[in-house]
Amino acid sequence: MTRDEILKTILDNGAVAVVRIDDDSKMEKVARALCDGGVNILEVTMTVPNAIGAIRELTKLNIPDLLVGVGSVTNKTMVEEAIEAGAQFIVSPVTKDEIIRTAHAHGKPVMPGAFTPTEIFRAYEIGADVVKVFPADILGMSFFKSVKAPMPFLNIMPTGGVTLDNAGEWLSAGACAVGVGSALVDKKLINDNNYTELTKNADRLMNSINSFRDTIKRN
């Protein structure tokens, strides 16, 4: 897929599952459970043990519509290693020129992290496809509305503060998609091998997103 096609796939789904688990051997079951619930976009963070190997194995799986990216990226070497392993998009907690340039050189969209309006706009100016507003739980939805009012052209995505039931509200506030970590990828469920509940989490999240989108269509 081209960079634009990858980005469109992410925005069409509306949710990025931030997968930060302790045991990479469970990655396949986590991925299948999330996809069964409709969340097909997985961000495997570099804090996962053997993250690069996990990304490589995920991209080999025959799971329809699964799109695997990498998160917690802080330098260009991580970008290159993850893309070589099959990562289709790059997410970072910070904004660094080298991360954006390297991702784009390989034809992949990138989502750098920013916090203030100035940081968000700078990330946009130097080529961010989506700006990850992080940690969004400190800022809240009203912040998104305020930032989007003078800069409606921005693609901004919250990470932190997104729950299974308020994702649609974040979209209503101006988010282009949501990044969801522990509320969705519940470590206790994974440790207990309770993948059925993990699928229910994903389904509940997508219901929130789809309810908002249905409302927009009706109006």
Residues classed as catalytic: 43, 132
Contacts of residues 158-161 at CB distance under 8 Å and 24 or more positions apart, as own/partner, are 158/132, 158/133, 158/134, 159/18, 159/113, 159/132, 159/133, 159/134, 159/135, 160/134, 160/135, 160/136, 161/135, 161/136, 161/137
Q: Which amino acid, one-letter code, is at 133?
A: V
Of 179, 178, 203, 198, nearest to 187 by C-alpha is 198
| Cα maximum dimension of the chain | 47
What is the Cα Rg of the chain in Å? 16
d(CA 16, CA 24): 18
